[in-house]
């Protein structure tokens, strides 16, 4: 039996690749960092990537309510994304 979410999970990982490229080009306080984190925070958990979801939730909260996310917080999120991309 195939996993009905597999195709969506694959699309999520492909989106992570695109988001990761964008994040690498942005400063941690850039508004797009918060927008990407917000999107990732919800979707990652749905597809079985709680580490991304947790890191993205923190960055999202910082971007929304301050202080701006730190370089380390954004790095934690991108590293979680990298691990998910590698593991598929």
Backbone CA torsion sign across 71, 73, 74, 78: positive
C-alpha separations of 86 from 25, 26, 32 in Å: 20, 22, 24
pLDDT in tens, 39-69: 999 899 999 999 999 999 999 999 999 999 9
pLDDT in tens, 4-41: 788 899 999 999 999 999 999 999 999 999 999 999 99
């Amino acid at each position: 039996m195939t996993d009905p979410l597999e195709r969506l999970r694959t699309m999520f990982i492909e989106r992570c690749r695109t988001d990761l490229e964008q994040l690498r080009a942005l400063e941690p306080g850039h508004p797009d960092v918060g927008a990407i984190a917000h999107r990732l925070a919800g979707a990652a958990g749905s597809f079985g990537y709680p580490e991304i979801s947790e890191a993205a939730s923190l960055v999202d909260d910082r971007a929304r309510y301050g202080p701006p996310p730190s370089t380390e917080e954004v790095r934690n999120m991108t590293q979680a994304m990298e691990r998910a991309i590698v593991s598929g």
